[in-house]
């Protein structure tokens, strides 16, 4: 029989550990169409604040990832069919055109994406095309969880312990070495340029933690360098709260978000590293963080649209401010709190921010400014190069106190955090040139400089005329009101 199968690529732009692709090949189809739809919906505006849904750093990373996937597929005898259009419109027509009998794809976890899957199903149901969804974005397979997703524990630690006790991470699937050709006559178009998507190429910033290149080979190269060549995994637990440079953490997140590498592939490499180099708290901690990623993904399945609602998955009713002027100061890094501003400027300029930074700026917006946490989540959605709908909205709801956090009243004292994690002010000076000349003791609290000198608050000193005074009462930052990330509390030692 002359079979043509379609593999619909989504947030899984890789060849290794790709179940839909391997399943398609198992039937030895005569022809294979590998398709990616650039969905115009992803380039519209966010619902509440009207930010561009996909900012320039992520858009560039996506195009690079597609380019890289296309090159790999070409070297195996096929190609990537890329088109701008809604999957529910593109796929049924394409399936008719090439007489495909199957469409295989990876499932997603959130409403917008699930709705696209349903629309594709509806649009193909009268055409004798089998749709084959597979789960493949997490470390623990959904079918291997020791509980139904509806009964996901509402605290991460319980989830982690139960999974560690009962669930084995599946081995990653190997990559194909050859592919059947596309059907004759299928026209492959060039990839769109950023400007065709309404995006201006982002300028390079030499202060960026690193230049993230999209695609599976770049992901593998990062893993090789960070695990093996530079041996950074060995000390990850000690360095992971860093703020500057490429090495304090893995920086896998952009590749994980677009699926250029799978969490199972990373876990398998951790196991190999543990066998051949060292097994310690740091190697465990990387897998621990991947479990957080899983947790938020399964939470999205369980919580549905409450993940995006003001009251969050926990249904906590609070009064939030919608002050757009204050929001804009936060976005622009002009709050007058150097640690917040440095992180926000890094995000805007590079599309990346450390985990420590993310927790602090999110806490500041939701807990100090009391601004609707969803505004912040939308800004992150727009700007992050590693935007992952589940990780972003899950973490935001968690920090805002409306998510799955057993201590919903936690608030970060952002000034204390700044002293703890940036003791010499190197990070804030990197992003806030206005503070270059401010002496170390005052760099996180420039307002104190005037107090100490018993002068009226004078922001004309030390170049501070360009830097705003704090936008909220500084008594909030008196010592003794900081909290730590739950993960710190969950500091279980290795079995």
String marking each residue 215-234 x if it binds ligand FAD according to CB under 6 A: --------------------
String marking each residue 389-428 x if it binds ligand FAD according to CB under 6 A: --xx--xx--x-----------------------------
Which of 14, 293, 444, 449 is in the footprint of ligand FAD by CB under 6 A? 293
289 is an interface residue for ligand FAD by CB under 6 A: yes
Cβ-proximal residues to 260 (8 Å cutoff; 6+ apart), any chain: 13, 14, 65, 68, 214, 215, 216, 218, 219, 254
296 is an interface residue for ligand FAD by CB under 6 A: yes
Which of 264, 358, 410, 416 is in the footprint of ligand FAD by CB under 6 A? 358
Which of 36, 81, 380, 412 is in the footprint of ligand FAD by CB under 6 A? 380
Distance (Å, rounded) from C-alpha 196 to C-alpha 21? 29
Bridge partner list, 82: 36
Closest distance to ligand FAD from the beta carbon of 121 (Å): 27
For 130, the enclosing helix (H) or strand (E) is strand 130-134
> Are the C-beta atoms of 445 and 467 separated by less than 8 Å?
no
Residue 56, SS3 per DSSP: helix
Q: How many CB atoms lie within 10 A of CB 84?
A: 14
Closest distance to ligand FAD from the beta carbon of 43 (Å): 18
Closest distance to ligand FAD from the beta carbon of 250 (Å): 3
Q: At what angle do helices 216-223 and 56-75 cross, to 10 degrees?
A: 100
Q: Which of 210, 135, 133, 213 is nearest to 173 (CA)?
A: 135
Closest distance to ligand FAD from the beta carbon of 267 (Å): 11
Comparing CB distances to ligand FAD, the nearer of 110 and 249 is 249
Distance (Å, rounded) from C-alpha 479 to C-alpha 290? 33
64 is an interface residue for ligand FAD by CB under 6 A: no
- Residues listed for the chain: 495
382 is an interface residue for ligand FAD by CB under 6 A: no
159 is an interface residue for ligand FAD by CB under 6 A: no
Closest distance to ligand FAD from the beta carbon of 64 (Å): 17
Question: Largest Cα–Cα distance in the chain?
Answer: 88
Comparing CB distances to ligand FAD, the nearer of 245 and 433 is 245
Q: Running DSSP on this structure, what letter comes out for residue 55? A: -
Distance (Å, rounded) from C-alpha 299 to C-alpha 160? 13
Contacts with ligand FAD, residue ranges (CB under 6 A)? 240, 249-253, 256-257, 286, 289-290, 292-293, 296, 354-355, 358-359, 362, 380, 384, 386-388, 391-392, 395-396, 399
């Amino acid at each position: 029989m002359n079979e043509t199968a379609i593999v619909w690529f989504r947030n899984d732009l890789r060849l290794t550990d790709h179940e839909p692709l391997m399943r398609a090949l198992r039937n030895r189809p005569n022809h294979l169409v590998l398709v990616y739809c650039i969905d115009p919906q992803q380039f519209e505006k966010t619902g509440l604040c009207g930010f561009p849904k996909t900012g320039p750093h992520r858009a560039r990373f996506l195009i690079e990832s597609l380019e890289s996937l296309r090159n790999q597929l070409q070297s195996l005898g096929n190609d990537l069919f890329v088109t701008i259009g809604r999957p529910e419109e593109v796929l049924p027509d394409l399936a008719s055109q090439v007489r495909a009998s199957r469409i295989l794809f990876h499932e997603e976890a959130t409403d917008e994406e699930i709705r696209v899957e349903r629309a594709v199903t509806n649009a193909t149901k009268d055409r004798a095309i089998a749709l084959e969804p597979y789960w493949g974005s997490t470390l623990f397979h959904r079918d291997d969880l020791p509980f139904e997703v509806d009964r996901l524990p509402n605290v991460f630690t319980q989830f982690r312990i139960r999974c560690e006790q009962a669930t084995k991470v599946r081995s990653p699937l190997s990559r194909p070495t050859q592919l059947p050709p596309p059907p004759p006559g299928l026209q492959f178009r060039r990839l769109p340029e950023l400007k065709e998507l309404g995006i201006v190429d982002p300028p390079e910033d030499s202060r960026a933690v690193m230049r993230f290149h999209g695609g599976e080979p770049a992901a593998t190269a990062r893993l090789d360098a960070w695990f093996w060549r530079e041996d950074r995994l060995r000390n990850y637990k000690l360095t992971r709260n860093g703020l500057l440079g490429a090495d304090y953490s893995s920086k896998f997140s952009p590749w994980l978000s677009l699926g250029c590498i799978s969490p199972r592939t990373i876990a398998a490499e951790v196991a190999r590293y543990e066998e051949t180099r060292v097994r310690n708290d740091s190697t465990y901690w990387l897998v621990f963080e991947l479990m957080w990623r899983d947790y938020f993904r399964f939470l999205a399945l369980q919580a549905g649209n409450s993940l995006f609602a003001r009251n969050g998955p926990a249904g906590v009713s609070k009064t939030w401010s919608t002050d757009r002027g204050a929001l804009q100061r936060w976005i622009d890094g002009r709050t007058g709190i150097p640690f917040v501003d440095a992180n926000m400027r890094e995000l805007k300029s590079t599309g990346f921010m450390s985990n420590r930074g993310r927790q602090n700026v999110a806490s500041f917006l939701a807990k100090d400014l009391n601004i609707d946490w969803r505004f912040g989540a939308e800004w992150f959605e727009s700007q992050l190069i590693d935007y992952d709908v589940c990780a972003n909205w899950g973490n935001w709801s968690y920090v805002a106190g409306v998510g799955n956090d057993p201590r919903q009243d936690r608030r970060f004292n952002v000034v204390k955090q700044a002293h703890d994690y940036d003791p010499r002010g190197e990070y804030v000076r990197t992003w806030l040139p206005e503070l270059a000349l401010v002496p170390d003791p005052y760099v996180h609290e420039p307002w104190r400089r005037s107090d100490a000198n018993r002068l009226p608050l004078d922001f004309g000193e030390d170049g501070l005329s360009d830097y705003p005074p704090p936008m909220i009462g500084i008594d909030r930052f008196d010592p003794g009101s900081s909290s730590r990330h739950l993960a710190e509390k969950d500091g279980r030692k290795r079995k």
